[in-house]
A and B are shown apart, each in its own frame.
Chain A
Amino acid sequence: MENFSEVIQLFFSLENFLAIAAGVVIGVVVGSIPGLTATMAVALALPFTFSMQPIAAILLLVGIYKGGMYGGSITAILIRTPGSPASACTLLDGYPMAQQGHAKKALKAALYSSVIADFISNIALIFFAAYLAKIALNFGAPEFFWLICFSLTIIISLASGSMIKGLMAALLGILLSLVGLDSVFGSQRLTFDNYNLMDSISFIPLLIGLFAIPEIMEFYRKKAIPHIKAKASGVGLTFAELKRCMKSIVRGSLIGVIIGAIPGTGATAAAFISYSDARRRSPNKANFGKGEVEGVAAAEAGNNGVAGATMIPLLSLGIPGDVITAIILGAFMVHGLTPGPIMFQENLSLIYALFMGIMLSSVILLVVGNVAIKYFSLIADIPKSILFPIVLMFCVYGSYAVNNDAFDIGLMVAFGVLGYIFNRAAIPAAPFLIGFILGPMFEDNLRRSLLIGSNDLSIFVRGPITWFFIALTVGSIALALYRFVEARRKAQQGDSTSKSA
């Protein structure tokens, strides 16, 4: 490559290295504070990049993005308060692990799977960007509709224990997701003329309320939870455990890559889809939700797999897939660069220098993450009577910080009560969340498809991608039904043998 020396020259500058390192550190710290999301940090950092060199500017923002994606998992695992929406799935197994004294193991599993997923995602960005971007363009509303249908069938596998309770939770999630403005007509739905509800229910107060508050309420209800004498932070992740999780991490990363490459889906959905997929395939199925390390790994692989891949539509098509890449697009434009096919022709050296920086950010994440774990895992050793009042303060602050609005604190308290009821009645929260996240996507893409196709239903079977996801959806439902019938038959057999005995 004739431009190689130029790439090296562009990349190897102190400013670039400092920018990546600073970005990852800021991302991890901000991501770990509930209510402060990576999106906010990227937006707030943008003005500082105006005066920087273009590559350093972009790498700073990318570093914050990647660090933030991982940082969210720290508080999710330690205090059951997801630092960002995408890490909501991580706490399903991460927090039970911390409770069992394996906080460090969970944090390490989250870090390693994040870094591996990040790496796979970067590889996909560097080598398959053009190809994946093409698939993304073929992914219209009907294709999306079937992808969401397939994802919704995942709820079946997440409804541990009672199927009825799982469905109840999922439907309640879908019902609450309807609150807000109608996407086609702009009319208000279930807002009761309250302006704060017009933009639908705020996700972060919902998450904090649903998970952190019930834990605190439970603590004060029981009053004396025995202190764990041993160091609660526990030991790290063994190589055997990492190896056991590897399949789920790789699959989760690929799920993240595909979802990240399609504009408009997001890391939260990727985490849940990866988690459910891992659970369905894992030999430790029964342990999921109770502190399974593979669950943490799958969730984190899913959301970090998205990080590199969202750069695919941005760099190859100039289309930002989410808010963060929209801000990064802004940073490109401030420096007179326009991402898209033309940039690959005109600024190829710059793109390669950028790729090198993005690869380096994965390595830095590994280093920064390890240091962060060393100190953060000490939180698990703080007595709950001291920790929980502090957590409660962060809950209130985090809920307020999203929109600078006291209404969201009320919202958090309301969801805290709901979460408490869920806990007491053994209703699983995961299907509720999936319903809340996927419900609007289901509705929007259904209506969008009908609008595009002028109400002609044939649009739903228009091409190979739709056929593929229809097959998956039908297969998934059939499998669940088969298992249900089989389990019932076995139970009846068991009944009759016990009777005959």
Chain B
Amino acid sequence: MKNILSATCMAACSGALALSLMASTASADEWPTKDIHLVVPYAPGGTTDVLSRRVADLLSQELGANVIVENRPGAGSTVGTGRVARGGRDIDHTLLMASPGHTIGAAIYPGLTYDPVEDFVFLQNMVDIPNVMVVPADSPYQNVVEFIEAAKEENMTFSHSGVGSSIHMSGELFKTLTDTNMTAVPFAGSGASLPALLGGDVDVSFENMPTVLSHIRSGDLRALAVTSAERSEYLPDVPTLSEIGEYNLDQFVTTAWFGLIAQSSFPEEAQSVMQDALAKVMQREEFLDFAKQLGAQPGTVAGDEFKQFITDDLQRWEAVAEQAGISQ
């Protein structure tokens, strides 16, 4: 009897253990177990925000869980990013939409409380948006080489949408590589900087493609080059800067990238669930159409490749920020 009892007891215990083990594997399979928070480190309404809401919508369809967009703007993107890096409750269900601000912010703001590479896991680069080197329609410069020759003689001004934006840093990178005389003129956002370029108050800008595409097509602005590695399908006749082949411009490849990352403690199971779901999202027609509207190419790197990409990006901006004497 005693034996039977202990045997039953054993069986019950092992059963319970097995059950609990099963339960734990089941719940890991079932990630997400609650609502997912997608932190957007910018205010509502910008490209990052609009993209995030679109991705959140599609992602929640793939995962069958709510994906809630949370805007945590401030100090470039460093306030929202810092929050995710610090962790806390629900960190295993928290994502961050990272963009060039992630690396540029780390390059120009001293004393950040987080490491932009080591404190995160990198899930998927969602889209890449090239910048375009544009001059006003009545500008005398027909191509990049003419512009550089002139900029070696006299001082040129370039407008940008704020210190540390990809538009600003692209201008600084151009200045550094080509060793030309250029002065950065800051504006509060592209909406304010574009009239200065259209009105001819500044000589050149390295604007995000979607902002200037219609002005290039209407003939108000002239595109001299795009900053991506390949020519853009939207402006097939415009060369890339790296094609120029002179003035160290072969090293000039930058895009405004947008990708999902999470804090380093983000569970591995969740990473694989996320990567699968994101791969599906990126094949959806709605996503591809949306990317097209943004003038963007779907991102190509994920996981470790994405991490390497961020590491390289960070190193480059650190070098540019130091040369340009920004912030520090």
When the two chains form the complex, which single residue of A193, A198, A263 contacts B74, counting CB atoms closer than 8 Å? A198
Q: What is the count of residue pairs linking A and B with beta-carbon distances less than 8 angstroms?
A: 153
Say how far A455's CB is from chain B's closest CB, in angstroms: 10
Among A184, A193, A196, A263: residue with most chain B CB under 10 A? A263
Contacts A140-B201, A319-B191, A326-B45; is A186 near B164 (CB within 8 Å)? Answer: yes
Residues of B within 8 A of A (CB): 43-47, 49-50, 53-54, 57, 70-76, 78-79, 82, 108-109, 111, 113, 155, 157, 162-164, 183-189, 191-192, 194-196, 198-199, 201-202, 210, 213-215, 217-218, 220, 290, 293-294, 325-327
Instruction: Give me 11 A-to-B residue pairs in the complex whose CB atoms sit less than 8 angstroms apart, sorted by A's number.
Output: A42-B44, A46-B45, A193-B111, A196-B79, A264-B192, A322-B191, A323-B44, A330-B47, A330-B50, A404-B71, A451-B184
Q: Measured between alpha carbons, how far is A342 from B219 in the docked complex, in Å?
A: 10
Contacts A199-B74, A451-B183; is A42 near B45 (CB within 8 Å)? Answer: yes
Q: Measured between alpha carbons, how far is A324 from B46 in the docked complex, in Å?
A: 10
Say how far A182's CB is from chain B's closest CB, in angstroms: 8
Which of A7-15, A107-115, A333-341, A470-478 lines the interface with chain B?
A333-341
Q: Measured between alpha carbons, how far is A340 from B45 in the docked complex, in Å?
A: 20
Q: Measured between alpha carbons, how far is A183 from B50 in the docked complex, in Å?
A: 25
Which of A131-139, A167-175, A373-381 lines the interface with chain B?
A131-139
Closest B residue to A326 using CB positions: B45
Residues of B within 8 A of A138 (CB): 199
Residue interface bits A168-203, CB-to-B below 8 A is 1, else 0: 000000000000011111110000010110110000
Contact in complex: A404, B70 (CB < 8 Å) = yes
Contact in complex: A195, B196 (CB < 8 Å) = no
Residues of B within 8 A of A339 (CB): 214
Residues of B within 8 A of A47 (CB): 53-54, 57
Residue interface bits A262-285, CB-to-B below 8 A is 1, else 0: 011000000000000000000000
Q: Measured between alpha carbons, how far is A75 from B86 in the docked complex, in Å?
A: 37
Closest A residue to B327 using CB positions: A186
Residues of A within 8 A of B47 (CB): 330
Closest A residue to B82 using CB positions: A195
Residues of B within 8 A of A313 (CB): 191, 195
Contact in complex: A327, B198 (CB < 8 Å) = no
Among A50, A185, A334: residue with most chain B CB under 10 A? A185
Contact in complex: A340, B44 (CB < 8 Å) = no
Residues of A within 8 A of B74 (CB): 195-196, 198-199, 403, 405
Q: Measured between alpha carbons, how far is A185 from B163 in the docked complex, in Å?
A: 7
Q: Measured between alpha carbons, how far is A436 from B200 in the docked complex, in Å?
A: 30
Among B189, B195, B196: residue with most chain A CB under 10 A? B195
Say how far A46's CB is from chain B's closest CB, in angstroms: 7
Contacts of A303-332 to chain B: CB distance below 8 A: 313, 317-327, 330
Q: Measured between alpha carbons, how far is A460 from B327 in the docked complex, in Å?
A: 28
Residues of A within 8 A of B (CB): 39-40, 42-44, 46-47, 50, 136-141, 181-187, 193, 195-196, 198-199, 263-264, 313, 317-327, 330, 333-334, 336, 338-342, 403-405, 444, 448, 451-452, 454
Contact in complex: A184, B163 (CB < 8 Å) = yes
Q: A47-B54, A327-B45, A334-B290 are in contact. List 19 more A-B contacts (CB 8 A).
A: A42-B45, A43-B49, A137-B195, A139-B195, A140-B199, A141-B196, A182-B163, A184-B163, A185-B163, A195-B79, A198-B76, A198-B78, A313-B191, A403-B71, A405-B79, A448-B185, A452-B185, A452-B202, A454-B183
When the two chains form the complex, which single residue of B43, B111, B294, B326 contacts A186, counting CB atoms closer than 8 Å? B326
Q: Measured between alpha carbons, how far is A448 from B191 in the docked complex, in Å?
A: 15
Q: Which 9 A-B pairs have the closest CB atoms?
A: A43-B44, A198-B75, A186-B163, A264-B192, A327-B45, A186-B327, A338-B214, A320-B191, A340-B214
Contact in complex: A43, B45 (CB < 8 Å) = yes
When the two chains form the complex, which single residue of B72, B108, B157, B188 contacts A451, counting CB atoms closer than 8 Å? B157
Q: Measured between alpha carbons, how far is A11 from B54 in the docked complex, in Å?
A: 27
Q: Measured between alpha carbons, how far is A405 from B163 in the docked complex, in Å?
A: 24
Contact in complex: A199, B157 (CB < 8 Å) = no
Q: Measured between alpha carbons, how far is A323 from B43 in the docked complex, in Å?
A: 9
When the two chains form the complex, which single residue of B50, B210, B220 contacts A327, counting CB atoms closer than 8 Å? B50
Contact in complex: B44, A39 (CB < 8 Å) = yes
Q: Measured between alpha carbons, how far is A324 from B189 in the docked complex, in Å?
A: 13
Q: Measured between alpha carbons, how far is A174 from B71 in the docked complex, in Å?
A: 28
Residues of A within 8 A of B162 (CB): 183
Say how far A244's CB is from chain B's closest CB, in angstroms: 38
Residues of A within 8 A of B111 (CB): 193
Contacts A326-B46, A334-B293, A448-B187; is A318 near B214 (CB within 8 Å)? Answer: yes
Contacts A43-B49, A185-B327, A342-B217; is A325 near B44 (CB within 8 Å)? Answer: no
Contact in complex: B326, A137 (CB < 8 Å) = no
Contact in complex: A323, B45 (CB < 8 Å) = yes
Closest A residue to B57 using CB positions: A47
